[in-house]
Structure 1
Amino acid sequence: MPDAASITFRFAAPHEAQAVRAIEYEAAQRFADIDMVGIADARPMDVAFVRRKIEAAEVVVAVDDQARCVGFVMFARLVTRFYIQELDVLTGWAGRRIGAALLEQVAGLARTAGASQLVLSTFRDVPWNAPYYLRLGFRVMDSASLDARLRAIRAAHVERGLDESKRVFMCRGVGAGHD
């Protein structure tokens, strides 16, 4: 079994765009087990988009002791908030708190940038989505608290075919106690 203690975190390098896409695809296969085959069958993110995010220093990877990417978090800076766009860990590395550690990497970046919150949108009832984030200190946001940027993200999800009635926005502070 792989050792999580050997994991290091750093910004993704340009040559790792395909690795990020492969992790996203592999992680999405879990959705087939809960009859969400549309997610499992979806194509990974466009490689040009991933490269732009890497160039913008908005992708942090978890790397094993052989320099292989085993997880990543992609985010966007929204002034006072950092929006978590994607968080995926290879199935063989699941359950070792790598996802939580990736979120802490982004929380540190957010603190340094003067942002106060991490925000994300996820499926309400998928065990490794909203219930997981609740355990990590996130709370569900009510629709009235969504600013124009978050409402635009929701609209983009709808445009992509996601059922927003099954999703929630969640947030938490970026401090050690999650503020």
Structure 2
Amino acid sequence: MYIRPVSPAELPVLQGIERAAGEPFRGLGMGAIADDEPPGIALLEEFRRAGRAWVAVEGDGSLVAYLLSEPVDGAEHIEQVSVHPRAARRRIGGELIEHAADRAREAGSEALTLTTYTDVPWNAPYYARIGFRVLADAELTPGLRKIRAHEAELGLDRWPRVAMRRELSPGGPGSRTAP
């Protein structure tokens, strides 16, 4: 498996990964999340053009996961990380996060941030295991407050959500990238 930027022709594949990655939420009583439409091609293209959309590629060339990020208040915010269920539990999402951390360090960011569900095992509990911590409301930056407000408008707060942060130390672990 290796990580590389997504190409324009692959954007619909990201939507398929997102749909598949949503299905496990159905088993947690979160059918609305499973049924949620993936990001549109135009939005995915914005992330791609900005150099903030990466895919995890299997040896056979198939895409199995992706990550989108953007700068928010001095940190690199992980907008979305999705892994196809057929590739779950292989640390591919973690590899994408490490790749984003490496890019963020290179750009001078001091941390990674994200928002996520507290009670979904592959969300907040997983991110805590890889070094993220839950932010108290008083620690939310203006940009994170705006993201959380938008999520509430979308109805995502039907289930408990939090913002999390992971500090970036210089020279942290590397990720696998395309040669």
* TM-score under structure 2 length normalisation: 0.92
Matches within 5 A, 1:68-83: 68-78=62-72, 80-83=74-77
d(CA) in 2 for partners of 1:165, 1:70: 27
Which residue identity does 1:85 align to in structure 2? E
Deviation, structure 1 residue 105: 0.3
d(CA) in 2 for partners of 1:66, 1:13: 17
Asked if structure 1 preserves the Cα contact closer than 8 Å seen for 2:57 and 2:63, the reply is: yes
Match of 1:129 in 2: 123
1:93 aligns with 2:87: yes
d(CA) in 1 for partners of 2:100, 2:163: 17
2:58 maps to which of 31, 56, 64: 64
Match of 1:102 in 2: 96
Deviation, structure 1 residue 174: 2.0
Deviation, structure 1 residue 161: 1.3
Deviation, structure 1 residue 153: 0.4
2:19 maps to which of 13, 16, 25: 25
Q: Deviations over 1:100-151 (max 9, x none)?
A: 1100000000000000100000000100000000110110100101111110
d(CA) in 1 for partners of 2:128, 2:22: 20
Deviation, structure 1 residue 79: 5.0
1:142 maps to which of 132, 136, 140: 136
Instruction: Tell me the percent identity.
Output: 37
5+ residue gaps, structure 1, are 1-6
1:114 aligns with 2:100: no
d(CA) in 1 for partners of 2:44, 2:95: 21
d(CA) in 1 for partners of 2:154, 2:21: 19
Q: Deviations over 1:24-50 (max 9, x none)?
A: 110001100000000001111111111
Asked if structure 2 preserves the Cα contact closer than 8 Å seen for 1:73 and 1:86, the reply is: yes
2:7 maps to which of 10, 13, 29: 13
| Displacement over 6 Å in runs of 4+ | none
Q: RMSD in angstroms over aligned alpha carbons?
A: 1.3
Query: Partner of 1:34: helix, strand, or coil?
Result: coil
Asked if structure 2 preserves the Cα contact closer than 8 Å seen for 1:27 and 1:88, the reply is: yes
Deviation, structure 1 residue 51: 1.3
1:159 maps to which of 139, 153, 156: 153
* TM-score under structure 1 length normalisation: 0.92
d(CA) in 2 for partners of 1:69, 1:124: 27
